[in-house]
Every structure is written in structure tokens, then in C-alpha cells.
Amino acid sequence: MNDLDQTDWLEYVGGNDAALERIHRRHRAALMKYCAYTTGSHSRAQDVVQETFLRLMNQRSRLTIKTSLADWLFICARNLCFSLSKREKTQESAVERLTEATTGLDAETVRFIEQVLSKLSVEERDLILLREQQGYSIREIALLLSVTEETVRVRLYRVRKKMQEIGRR
Amino acid sequence: MNTKDCEYFEQLLSSRLDEELPSEQQHELENHLAVCPSCRDFDIELTSQRGILQSLPDIVVPDGFRAAPNTLKWWRRRLSMPMPVAAAIALVAVGGWLLALRSPAKSNIEMSETSIMVHSVETVRVPAVQAIRVESEQDKSKNNEEEVL
């Protein structure tokens, strides 16, 4: 855990609610970005990030973060995104929702989001965003998904190939 | 160059993008790219995809977006306390409520009996002590008069 997170977390556990707001300000942008592109919706990303912090608040007195608070928050938010997508199963509306999440963009990016990214499944989008947006290494993704590194390499190749095929249509 | 061969080299290109390609395969890949325009295109598109994905804009965080917003429902706010504490409070509250419901008439009687007992102690003791004291003072004065006489 980085020093700022550790200091703020200990302060929050000690009863200082303002410390939680500092943690929130530090991490919310990255979480919002991942959640918005994964769920395809700005408002849903907001709900997921809020729920993530509620879960952190519920863990106030008993959470022992061994590695990184950022990782804990990210994994929690990611799980919530998947729960949401399993409940909804509305792939059809993903295009509209992704566009809603990304207003004010240049034409090429809008085209990429609408015609390529939104055509991927949630799992495929998650994988490519973990690698390209969040910068996770192959090894880190393998640990996160509980699969082998070779499986991650093969899956990444397939997603990249699929994106190229969709892009050519 | 058949399709199967290209698929193999596309996988190598994907691995190279992730900086996971062993050096021996790097040489093999370069030799193939030199003679395969299809795989060269694949490589260019991979790099282009990565560029777009990495430059996807940040999502605007709305004003007033906080960890525990004021608009949060009260029961969600309550959940922010540790679960054992919440469970203990709930247990005490329910226990107290059940005790209060158990036999309200009996408890009233007990209270009134207690107050009667208190009154009876006061009414009995005080006059008794006073009476004894009065008697003893009267006796003393009588005794004194007798002594004087």
C-alpha cells in the first residue's frame, strides 16, 4: 500500500471520515474509467464506484490490506461490474451506453468505441482493458483471473484478432 | 505461406506487443514479417488498436461525487458501522423490546409494592423512634423531677 493510502486508511479506521474522502478523490477517476468502459455506462460506473466505497466502509474495523488499497478497490469494482452484467444480460444496449459514457470525443475514438469495443463481450472488454488501459502485466492478469499465463496470452491474441476483424467490417 | 502459419505469427506479434516474446522467436518473427504483408498489416493494426485503447479519455467525475454522499439512504449509512457492532445493537434493541412486551402488568404491581413498602417503613420507623425518644425524654424529666423532689 502506498504511504498516502496507508496513512489515510489508518486515520479512517481511527474514526476520521475525512480520510476516506481523500482516498476516494485519489482513486475514483481510475475506477470510473475502468467501470464506464466495462459496463458501458457513466451512471452505472458511478453506482459501482459508490458501492465499492460502501463495501470499503463496511470493512472499516476488520479489513487488513496486505498489498495495495488501489488493488482492493479495483478488484471489488471489477467484481461488481461483472455481477451487474450477469444480472442484466443486455449486450444490445451496450453501444448506446458506451456512447453515453464518452460524449465529446473525436470521431475516430467514437467509431472505435461504437463499432469495435462495444461489440466485445464483457469478459473480452475486461481483458483488453486490464492490459491496455490499466497496464496489468500478463502475470498479474493470470493471477487476477486464476488462469495460466499462457491462457492469458492466447485469450489476448483472440480478442485482438476479433477487434481487427470487427474493425474491417 | 498458409493461414495456419500466419496465425502462429500473429500470436507471436501479440506476445511481442506485451513484451513477452523470447529472443529466439523474435528472429523467427522478423524473418516472417519480411515476406508476409498480411502479418505486417496485422502488426500495424495491433499498434493502432493499442494507441486508441491507451488514449481512451478519462470519464468525467461529477461534482459532489463523494465516498459517502449525503443523498445515501439512511440504512446504507447505518451499514457503514462494523457488522458486529450493528448486530450487537440490533440484538440489544430486540431483546429490550421483547422484555418490555413480556408481562407489563406484573412489573407495575412490583413497582407499587415497592413504593408501599417504602412508605410503610417510613411511617412505621419515624413515629416509633420519635415515640421512644419522647417517652425516654418524658421518663428522664420525670426521673429528674423525682430526683429534685
Q: Which residues in chain A have their CB less than 8 angstroms from residue B67's CB?
A: 20-21, 23-24, 50, 53, 56-57
- What is the ipTM, given to two decimal places? 0.80
CA B141 to chain centre: 78
Instruction: Please report whether residue B61 resides in a domain.
Output: no
Query: Are the beta carbons of A167 and B25 closer than 8 angstroms?
Result: no
Domains of chain A and CATH, by start: 1-90 (1.10.1740.10)
DSSP secondary structure, A40-69, as one string: S-HHHHHHHHHHHHHHHHHTTTT---SS-H
Q: Total domain count for chain B?
A: 1
Model confidence over A41-53: pLDDT tens digits? 888 888 999 999 9
Task: Give the C-alpha separation, A157 to B42, whole Å.
Answer: 11
**Residue B27 domain boundaries:** 3-54
Cβ contacts from A onto B, under 8 A? 100
Query: How do residues A102-142 score in pLDDT, each as one tens digit?
Result: 566 777 887 888 888 888 888 899 999 999 988 999 999 99
Distance CA A30, CA A135 (A): 12
Helix, strand, coil % in chain A, rounded to nearest 5: 80, 0, 20
Say if CB A58 and CB B79 are below 8 A apart: yes
Nearest residue in chain A measured CA to CA from B9: A157
Whether B96 maps to a domain, the answer reads no
What are the backbone angles phi and psi of residue A59, rounded to the nearest 5°?
-90, 5
Inside any domain, residue B19: yes
- The answer as to whether B111 is a domain residue is no
- For residue A167, give the H/E element and its range: helix A149-168
pTM for the structure as a whole: 0.66
